[in-house]
Structure 1
């Protein structure tokens, strides 16, 4: 019998149950899979959340081999006090492209800042490796999730959801009150596929643009791609970056609502919104 996909609500409930990190003592890795143990799937042929538990891939394999009894696993599900989840992105990135709202951003040093807060940032070390930084907060300005140079700092007590793919390729954080969220996905794409997507998005001949110059330097026919999605609602404005566009809504400060898509930024490209009195609202650039 083919295994049906576990429903989104069940997966979210299982993540929340363990505080968004592997419940095995001393682990707390946020990259989770879903283990059937009471009964095992090959016996029950169903996704019964009362008999399932979220575990990291290593401990999932050990659980499959009987490392813990059924009672042990039920006790893990019932535990009340849990440490904060901790993990690290294993992405190895040098040069590549960030795709955000159908905009292509080519820079090893890139910052998206909102009213002084760095929502997203790439930093390059002395060896040329790029690390990811990001920050998510709630209505009370409490930090829900943070990534500092690929190290994840996660507040499981106030997060609505923390979903880190077991493959390590995608992370998703959501605040509980105003639906602020951040999703970051890393993948390596064939250069031709990336060029084709860029041509459709930018509606121009990318063979003469900065994107082509950088893509041509990639090795082995592949390019590093980071896709960044977010929604951030503030008291005086909102920022949304989806699949098709970025939307800036500044109507609460007397400005307008703007969509931004189909653009590319090189190393020195920048986008900056400020109020009449000089307060910076959003900065996107080096």
Structure 2
């Protein structure tokens, strides 16, 4: 359930834990916000002194009573661990290479956009850290994953959710077949990139960099993307490298009636044209 937490409170809570889950050995940068002193069931509040930023896994454990209020206050005060967590996220400060649909997009923050909705994008904060944004589409009138600036805003009821410590993987599956898998890979040299992707096209990139490999399926549609290939209305274009584009994979005017997150009443920003049922697909736009 979405909590109406002011953005200033979220920022304060993220900052105090070093922008990663403060549970020792975790450091996952995708955070939720736990009310514990007092619990929100006792008194609804958004007092940052009685809240803490945790990853989804440890938030669930906290809701189940795995940590005392004293333990959570101690995690909030542990600045040494917060500095360690922040230091371990330096891979999010490197240049970004998005790998999706068998193509490569260098320093291109909008990775996948469909009908005006940015499904996967990464933006940099004032300190240069990449913050993940996800807005998953579906034909089902059910809640789907939403992440805004690395903050979990919605999850829904996935049959499987996996987000290991350090945040270099994120996988979510839903019963109807909707699927998203993100994997972040640190590439120290051009040689490492060539070895991983079997392409000799990276000579103009700045290393080391961080690659995000994107795999996504929207069930009931012809939209299926992996890091190695694409399936969009039978169109295929692979092995291309685009740099500093306005966006990566762009699908316009799909004609699909998206139905996810009905409670949120989110508006779909669909641009109408003279031929609204014509599908336009672009792999990289400048």
TM interval, short-chain normalised: 0.5 to 0.7
Per the TM alignment, residue 173 of structure 1 is displaced from its structure 2 partner at its CA by: 1.3
Which of 198, 220, 224 is 2:210 aligned to? 224
Task: Find the aligned partners of 2:243 and 2:138 in 1 and give their Cα distance.
Answer: 32
**What are the Cα deviations for residues 130-174 of structure 1, in whole angstroms up to 9, with x where unaligned?**
222112244334332111111122334x22221111342211112
Per the TM alignment, residue 180 of structure 1 is displaced from its structure 2 partner at its CA by: 0.7
Per the TM alignment, residue 285 of structure 1 is displaced from its structure 2 partner at its CA by: 4.0
Match of 1:247 in 2: 231
SS at match of 2:192: helix
**Which structure has the highest strand share of the two?**
1
Residue pair 1:30, 1:163 contacting (<8 A) in 2 also:
no
Match of 1:81 in 2: none
**What are the Cα deviations for residues 102-151 of structure 1, in whole angstroms up to 9, with x where unaligned?**
31110242241112322111223444432221122443343321111111
Which of 174, 187, 190 is 1:189 aligned to? 187
| Residues 189, 31 of structure 1: alpha-carbon distance in 2 compared, 3 angstrom cutoff | farther
Match of 1:112 in 2: 112
Match of 2:204 in 1: 213
Q: Which runs of 5+ in 2 are unaligned?
A: 1-31, 40-51, 72-87, 254-273
Match of 1:17 in 2: none
Per the TM alignment, residue 272 of structure 1 is displaced from its structure 2 partner at its CA by: 4.7
Per the TM alignment, residue 259 of structure 1 is displaced from its structure 2 partner at its CA by: 2.4
Task: Find the aligned partners of 1:238 and 1:122 in 2 and give their Cα distance.
Answer: 25
Task: Find the aligned partners of 1:285 and 1:149 in 2 and give their Cα distance.
Answer: 23
Residue pair 2:138, 2:144 contacting (<8 A) in 1 also:
yes
| Residues 193, 263 of structure 1: alpha-carbon distance in 2 compared, 3 angstrom cutoff | same
Residue pair 1:110, 1:285 contacting (<8 A) in 2 also:
no
Task: Find the aligned partners of 1:24 and 1:140 in 2 and give their Cα distance.
Answer: 31
- TM-score for both structures, normalised by structure 2: 0.55
Looking at CA atoms only, which structure, 1 or 2, has the larger radius of gyration?
1
Q: Spell out structure 1 runs of 4+ moving beyond 6 A.
A: 23-28
SS at match of 1:213: coil
| Residues 267, 141 of structure 1: alpha-carbon distance in 2 compared, 3 angstrom cutoff | farther
Per the TM alignment, residue 55 of structure 1 is displaced from its structure 2 partner at its CA by: 5.3
Alpha-carbon RMSD across the aligned residues, in angstroms, is 3.7
Task: Find the aligned partners of 2:137 and 2:245 in 1 and give their Cα distance.
Answer: 29
SS at match of 1:277: coil
1:103 aligns with 2:98: no
Residue pair 1:138, 1:144 contacting (<8 A) in 2 also:
yes
Match of 1:142 in 2: 142
How many residues are treated as equivalent by the alignment?
Answer: 194
